[in-house]
Homo-oligomer: A and B are copies of this chain.
């Protein structure tokens, strides 16, 4: 599982920080999470293949999380896209999208399958062989949702040499990969862990932006390997954070600590911070395994710092 940060700014972009957009790569399928202005240019700079993006998740309908979507859809169209795009966004956005595309003379060649986000509890919004995705409610000025991506445990890997050594027939392999022991033709019982090795650890990633601090949030993102949590403001600005329904560095770190996550990534930085190292230090004081989101950077979830 790899995460590419396309934008780490809050509503006002800076010359080095673009508005919100993340790309999660799991099994070489790409999930785009939020789509701020300039997302398509950042995708190009990061050499990310547009054709591999089949799912787009929009946390809420504030411009810095969505104004890149129109350009991206146009570009998909101009590139000749035909495969359907799954769009997960707050209820009613489908009607807005239709009228906006009509206003701008855009006739999509491909289908947009709209999945409305709703609910006061976590909801399954996508599920396949490899991954489960849930949305969960955030607390912001308007309805907003976080997303939780959990890879499923893969099957165990059979040790190839053992197939010959014990004469394992092809028909038995699926069961062995699920953990069954094997009995040879002459009745010898071979324990599963002698003929298989464990699969790669499944990873999980949660995205929480935009939101103010609230107690239940930690239960939604419990034990994830990587938690992205907005930290628009430094700890001294907790009043402004509350007033605007955003989080401080300490709010983000408290969620991370309470949820026992592996690593916390903070982002959605206010344009007032030219340097973000101070914000990272503040979060580290509460949750040491904190890293900043940096535009154009790809993070391998297997290589993240843990403390």
Contact = CB atoms under 8 A, between A and B. Distances in A.
Interface class of chain A by DSSP: loop
Interface in A1-52: 11-15, 18-19, 37-38, 40-41, 44-45
Interface in A265-305: none
A104 interface: yes
A214 to B, nearest CB: 21
Nearest to A11: B78
Copies, count: 2
A61 interface: yes
Nearest to A36: B71
B37 A71 contact: yes
Contacts of A141: 105
A11 B104 CA distance: 13
Contacts of A44: 13-15
A66 B100 CA distance: 12
A79 B15 CA distance: 15
A166 interface: no
A67 interface: yes
A100 B102 CA distance: 12
A105 B18 CA distance: 20
A162 interface: no
A216 B194 CA distance: 83
A221 to B, nearest CB: 26
A142 B100 contact: no
Contact of A96 (B41, B62, B103): B103
B15 A104 contact: no
Contacts of A74: 11, 63-64, 67
A106 interface: yes
A171 interface: no
Contact of A61 (B38, B40, B104, B142): B104
A70 interface: yes
Interface centre among A66, A103, A105, A142, by most B CB within 10 Å?
A: A103
A12 B79 contact: yes
Interface of A: 11-15, 18-19, 37-38, 40-41, 44-45, 61-64, 66-68, 70-71, 74-75, 78-79, 96, 99-100, 103-106, 141-142
